[in-house]
Amino acid sequence: MAVKVGVIGCGKIAERASIPNLVNDKEKCQVTCLCDIDKSKAQNLAQKFNLPGAAITTDWRQLVKRSDVDAVFVDTPNYLHEEMTVGAATYKKHVLVEKPITISVKAADAMIKAARRTGVLLMVEQTQRFDPIHQAAKKVIDSGILGRIHNIRGRIGHAGPEYWSEGKGHWFYDKKKSGGGAMIDIGVHICDLVRWFSGKQVTEVFATIQTLEKKLPIDDNATVLLRFADGSKGFFECSWTTRPYEVLTYVYGEKGKIATSVGGKLPILVTLAKTGKGKDPNCTLEERIPELGPGGGWENAVHYFIDCVISGEKPFICGEEGRETIKVILAGYESQKTGKWVKVK
């Protein structure tokens, strides 16, 4: 039986990510209800994606009560994630919430607690984990061929929300609704990816967060240094002033390194050092290009969530993982205020 899905929020994420990847998996799922405070947005998406049987509502509380909804996609501004996720979980609906999980640790705790209380799944849509390039890199890291990982670097950047979303005076630029700027919007993606690659807990951060180009009361660039529990280190950058879009990572281990580039000519390259062979002080090198799996980040994330609902398996990017990532982001903002290293609590 297909998983029946309700989508709350009919903006660009729903239009470009959630609904297209739900309707291309019709054997496993069915969109049964669309919700937006602007009814016309929900109606337009129902028409665009040929969903004549989907109910339309402007009240998310009505959507989560529906008997023909098994799972809810929360595609709304960040500050609404907590209330909507808790509401959906209360009515025993599984939840896929758009990143970031929310804008405070307290709110994340409430979401996790609600899901645990009713036994539903809570997944955060951190799509970079689902990009085939990053999944291939993670497989290499976990194989152990790089040895102990000493350092992980990451960068994500695009031109800003105004270039893919609509309207001026957008909620993205209202700190009370968004929680911040580039740091919490896309920094959360690269932070989560670095955390996932490392498999380690971030214990301390030092951040420089700036507004370099956009005339906004929030940040458009950030650089964050990381200390992991085992003493190794990491680093990530995020930017709303980068053209064209890019996601880059570098993973350094005792025996080699990985470089990845989403959209680059060479998506992934593994370089292994054959220490002690030959006269080259940089070692004899062996290069490998891992095979990439199918699909893309959004597609794989949506389909994976539906599979988890069907199987009952807890997602590997669960609420607890989303909480750990937002803790690092918030510690970064605190570091910018104090000018000091801040412990991640």
Q: For 209-223, how does the pLDDT look when each residue is reduced to its tens digit (9 = 90+)?
A: 999 999 999 999 999
CB 33 within 8 A of CB 92: no
Nearest C-alpha neighbor of 335 from the set 222, 215, 249, 238 = 222
CB 255 within 8 A of CB 275: yes
Q: How far apart are CA 159 and CA 294, in angstroms?
A: 27
Predicted local distance difference test score (pLDDT) of residue 274: 75
AA identity, residue 250: Y
Q: Is 230 left (phi over 0), alpha (psi -120 to 50) or beta?
A: alpha
Average pLDDT score, the chain: 95
Predicted local distance difference test score (pLDDT) of residue 193: 98
Predicted local distance difference test score (pLDDT) of residue 121: 98
Beta bridge partner(s), residue 125: 98
Predicted local distance difference test score (pLDDT) of residue 59: 98
Q: How far apart are CA 97 and CA 72, in angstroms?
A: 8
Structure tokens at 44: 């337009």
Q: Would the pTM count as exceeding 0.85? A: yes
Predicted local distance difference test score (pLDDT) of residue 165: 76
Predicted local distance difference test score (pLDDT) of residue 276: 58
Q: What is the DSSP string of 143-211?
A: HTTT-SEEEEEEEEE-S-GGGTS--SS-GGG-HHHHSSSHHHHTHHHHHHHHHHHHTS-EEEEEEEEE-
Beta bridge partner(s), residue 170: none
How would CATH label the architecture of 128-292+326-343?
A: 2-Layer Sandwich (3.30)
Burial class of residue 335 (count of CB atoms within 10 Å of its CB; 0-12, 13-18, 19+): buried
* H helical segments located in 258-318: 297-311
Per-residue confidence in pLDDT tens, the chain, 345 aa: 799 999 999 999 999 999 999 999 999 999 999 999 999 999 999 999 999 999 999 999 999 999 999 999 999 999 999 999 999 999 999 999 999 999 999 999 999 999 999 999 999 999 999 999 999 999 999 999 999 999 999 999 999 998 877 655 589 999 999 999 999 999 999 999 999 999 999 999 999 999 999 999 999 999 999 999 999 999 999 999 999 999 999 999 999 999 999 988 999 999 998 765 555 666 668 899 999 999 999 999 999 999 999 999 999 999 999 999 999 999 999 999 999 999 999
Numbers of helices and strands, H then E, in the chain: 12, 15
Going from N- to C-terminal start, the domains of the chain cover 3-126+298-317, 128-292+326-343
CATH class of the domain comprising 3-126+298-317? alpha beta
Prior bond of 244 cis (ω within 30°):
yes
Which helix (H) or strand (E) element contains residue 142? helix 132-143
Give 309's Cβ-side CA count (13 Å radius): 26
Predicted local distance difference test score (pLDDT) of residue 263: 84
Helix, strand, coil share (%) of the chain residues, nearest 5: 40, 25, 35
> Do β-strands 342-343 and 268-274 pair in parallel, antiparallel, or remain unpaired?
unpaired
Q: How far apart are CA 34 and CA 285, in angstroms?
A: 54
